[in-house]
Amino acid sequence: MDNFDYSAIGQRIKALRKKKKLNQQELADLLGKSLRTVQKYETGEIEVSIAIINQLADLLDSTPTFILGYETNTEPIRNLADVMSFLFQLEKVSGMKFDIDVKKPPRSRDWTCSLTFNGKASADFNADVCLFLEDWQNQREDVQSYGMSQTDYRRWQDQTLAYYAATPVECAEPAALSEDERLEKRKAYLNAALNENQV
């Protein structure tokens, strides 16, 4: 979790602790930690694990993302263009590769479209995305079948965001190619595709 400002996290922990009217020793006892450890959390001297962040969030009536200082996008989705703009942003994430799978009549009975992430691909984040999507599917099924409350579902969402907030990504625009470079790459792409189909 190297990309967090532990001093700022400590200040948020301290403020939440004071709001709950707890002293440092009381918080240490609730966490099962020493007084010195809580003091180090609050001064930012040591890293606070995600497990402790989750525990602090429960004890201090907060959320893991607030304690970490992770800002979720507070802009509401206003229209379909906002959704599509987000999907375009996925193309820019280095270390993530996906395919768009379209099935429609007459080749398919239904008309379905999906983004497919291969968890075994050489892309750095694909396995993480696959693990997340698998977990999300299970959580959604639980909440849709009333096996989980909406409150627990939101808590799971927040804890998941807090966990992945520790993993930075880089975004890059695709390189601009001259027309000759583009045509050369197109030719190589078509030759590779042709060779793949002949195998």
Among 75, 81, 76, 56, residue whose Cα is nearest residue 66: 56
Give 38 or 173, the one with higher predicted confidence.
Answer: 38
What mean pLDDT is reported for the chain? 91
C-alpha to C-alpha distance for 167 and 134, rounded to whole angstroms: 19
Tell me what the mean pLDDT of segment 178-191 comes to.
Answer: 93
Q: Is residue 14 exposed (0-12), middle (13-18) or buried (19+ Cβ within 10 Å)?
A: middle
Q: Which helix (H) or strand (E) holds 114?
A: strand 112-116
Give 4 or 99, the one with higher predicted confidence.
Answer: 99
What percentage of the chain exceeds 90 in pLDDT? Answer: 78
At 26, give phi and psi (nearest 5°). -65, -45
pLDDT of 2 reads: 59
For the cut 80, the answer to whether the pLDDT of residue 126 exceeds it is: yes
CATH 1.10.260.40 residue window(s) in the chain: 6-68
Q: Is residue 110 exposed (0-12), middle (13-18) or buried (19+ Cβ within 10 Å)?
A: exposed
pLDDT band at 67 (very low <50, low <70, confident <90, very high): very high
pLDDT of 72 reads: 62
CATH number for the region 6-68 comes to 1.10.260.40
Give 4 or 91, the one with higher predicted confidence.
Answer: 91
Give 75 or 91, the one with higher predicted confidence.
Answer: 91
Tell me what the mean pLDDT of segment 27-49 comes to.
Answer: 94
